[in-house]
Amino acid sequence: MIYLHKFLPLIASPLFLIFFFIILGVLLKSKKITLTGFLILFFCSLPIVSNKLIFYLEKDYSPQNISTLNEANAIIVLSGMLKTIKTKDGFNYEFGGAVDRILAGIELFKNNKAPILILTRGKVPWQIGLPEGEYLKKFSIKNGVPQENILLTENVQNTDQEAKSVRKILKSNNVEVILVTSAFHMSRAKKVFEAANIKVIPYAVDYQRSTNKTTLMDFIPTAGSLAQTSKFVREMIGRLYYNLKY
């Protein structure tokens, strides 16, 4: 089931559909089918389209001032921000765009919003190197979080496992956590954690949307917009999956 949840978004992705229609059109010698593939490529690559889709994913959350947050029992930072680089001496780790997750978690801790920082050992089977939480723990300690205030989950592969693993750590049923993840992912993550009987204070970061004037550039296809549209499809499949499950 884990692998189905990971691979289904790939099969339903715009890029897969584009190749499917183009190849099918070539095999069947159908210009209409081939044209359908190119039209999907054009539509999904438009910034005006991808921006609207990303806004939809993030519409329920806005950046918050830390001072407005209530205190909680723990701060949970979800994985999904590291990339592993193999070198002749081993592995190096670099942050991706979602680095805001761990930076926000550290800032929340330093502002005394919770006494514990919980990091998840996220790692899917095809990844190499350390589970994310182990590297993030070292990073947090370097940035002023005492080692004794950091807890790690067991190894996890998805949001559902992260929630269940956190539930094992938080033995009491009457706990409330500040959940830190990317804004586009927060709706799904919040639902899954609440299904695990964990009260959640959402703290969304890593916003993908930005406020700009609409210009001619928004109607010119880009690879980045195709990637954003693909992210929308992947996230909506994830939401549907967990809505059916819970």
Confidence grade of residue 16 (pLDDT, cut at 50, 70, 90) = confident
Tally of CB atoms within 10 A around 142: 9
Question: What pLDDT does residue 8 have?
Answer: 63
Contacts within 8 Å (CB) and 24+ apart, 86-92 = 86/128, 91/128, 91/129, 91/130
177: in domain: yes
Give Cβ neighbours of residue 191 (< 8 Å, ≥ 6 apart).
Answer: 239, 242, 243, 246
150: in domain: yes
| Sheet architecture: strand order including 117-122 | 150-156, 117-122, 74-77, 176-182, 199-205
DSSP secondary structure letter of residue 162: H
Q: Are residues 13 and 84 in the same domain?
A: no
Mean pLDDT, all residues of the chain: 91
17: in domain: yes
Question: What pLDDT does residue 9 have?
Answer: 62
- Rounded to whole angstroms, the Cα distance separating 72 from 46 reads 41
Q: Are residues 25 and 128 in the same domain?
A: no
pTM: 0.89
218: in domain: no
Q: Are residues 137 and 110 in the same domain?
A: yes
Going from the C-alpha of 245 to that of each of 45, 98, 229, the distances in angstroms are: 32, 26, 24
CATH of the domain at 98: 3.40.50.620
Lowest mean per-residue pLDDT among 7-16, 23-32, 93-102, 235-244: 7-16
Q: Are residues 123 and 172 in the same domain?
A: yes
- Rounded to whole angstroms, the Cα distance separating 207 from 97 reads 10
**121 pLDDT exceeds 80?**
yes
Question: What pLDDT does residue 92 have?
Answer: 87
Q: Are residues 102 and 13 in the same domain?
A: no
Q: Are residues 123 and 153 in the same domain?
A: yes
Q: Are residues 106 and 125 in the same domain?
A: yes
Q: Are residues 71 and 50 in the same domain?
A: no
Instruction: State the total domains in the chain.
Output: 2
210: in domain: no
Q: Are residues 23 and 73 in the same domain?
A: no
Residue-range definition of the domain harbouring residue 55: 2-59+223-245
135: in domain: yes
212: in domain: no
217: in domain: no
Contact yes or no for 39/22 (Cβ under 8 A)? no
